[in-house]
């Protein structure tokens, strides 16, 4: 399969207010999850390009960042949730921005909801999944940093996800097992985007 994500993906804009969203003519694939889960790293891996800033400290992506494959589709880096060391007003503003986006955006291809495989599905991840379910937005679960865990831990994580899938029907069947560091599961995400676009 042709790797449609490689090359020619460029930064379009960063948005901190819903008023400034780009036009909705292209499908958007969003990457969401806890702060530090590896959203920006994953984006860089699937495009094989340093598009998004990888943070040494959590909570560094404050805006919704749009990257575009010319006239084809967009990749969207969301601010992470669950980072306690930010002010309440910052957290409120980021959550409001994301909720507004989810509520009004008609051109969402899929939300890739990232879960850190070392920590498993936390309460706050379940809340994010419930929001997507309530908005009836299709989402793909992605376990990140699998280079850091053993098979037994991975299986615990997958068991919990299987339970959630029974309750939350917006979660897609396939779960992506990824490591940006080891380049694992990246091709599969790439193929999923290709499939949704075709
Ligand atoms: N071991 C390992 N570390 C990773 C992997 N992906 C990301 N990291 C590390 O996790 C940290 C956070 O990565 P980011 O990609 O910046 O995470 P983020 O979700 O974009 O973080 P915020 O934008 O701050 O919410 C960095 O130190 C990365 O090097 C991975 O696959 N394996
Ligand atoms: Mg980031």
Structural domains in the chain plus CATH codes: 9-197 (3.40.50.300)
Is pLDDT at 61 greater than 70 in this prediction? no
Q: Mind listing the pLDDT tens digit for each residue in 43-53?
A: 989 887 666 66
Q: What is the residue with the minimal CA distance to atom 1 of ligand 1?
A: 145
Ligand 1 near 41 CB (within 6 A)? yes
pLDDT over 90 at 15, yes or no:
yes
Stretch 22-28: mean pLDDT, rounded? 95
Residue 4's pLDDT band (cuts 50, 70, 90): low
Which of 31, 33, 49, 55 should be mutated for ligand 1, with most atoms under 8 A from CB?
A: 55
Secondary structure string (H, E, C) spanning the chain: CCCCCCCCEEEEEEECCHHHCCCCCCEEEEEEEECCCCHHHHHHHHHCCCCCCCCCCCCCCCCEEEEEECCCEEEEECCCECCCCCCHHHHHHHHHHHHHHHHHCCCEEEEEEEEECCCCCCHHHHHHHHHHHHCCCCEEEEEECHHHCCHHHHHHHHHHHHHHHHHCCCEEEEEEECECCCCECHHHHHHHHHHHHC
């Amino acid at each position: 399969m042709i790797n449609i994500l490689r090359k020619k993906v460029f930064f379009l804009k960063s948005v901190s207010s819903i008023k400034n969203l780009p036009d909705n003519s292209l499908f958007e694939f969003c990457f969401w999850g806890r702060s530090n889960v590896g959203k920006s790293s994953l984006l860089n891996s699937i495009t094989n390009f340093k598009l998004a800033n990888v943070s040494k400290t959590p909570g560094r992506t404050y805006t919704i960042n749009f990257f575009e494959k010319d006239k084809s589709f967009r990749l969207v880096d969301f601010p992470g949730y669950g980072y306690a060391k930010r002010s309440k007003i910052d957290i409120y503003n980021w959550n409001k921005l994301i909720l507004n986006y989810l509520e009004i955006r008609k051109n969402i291809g899929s939300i890739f909801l990232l879960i850190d495989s070392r920590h498993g599905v936390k309460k706050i991840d379940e809340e994010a999944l419930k929001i997507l379910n309530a908005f009836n937005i299709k989402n793909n679960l992605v376990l990140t940093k699998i280079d850091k865990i053993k098979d037994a831990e991975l299986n615990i994580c997958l068991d919990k996800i299987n339970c959630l899938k029974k309750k939350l029907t917006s979660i897609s069947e396939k779960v992506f097992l990824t490591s940006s560091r080891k380049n694992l599961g990246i091709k599969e995400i790439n193929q999923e985007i290709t499939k949704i676009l075709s």
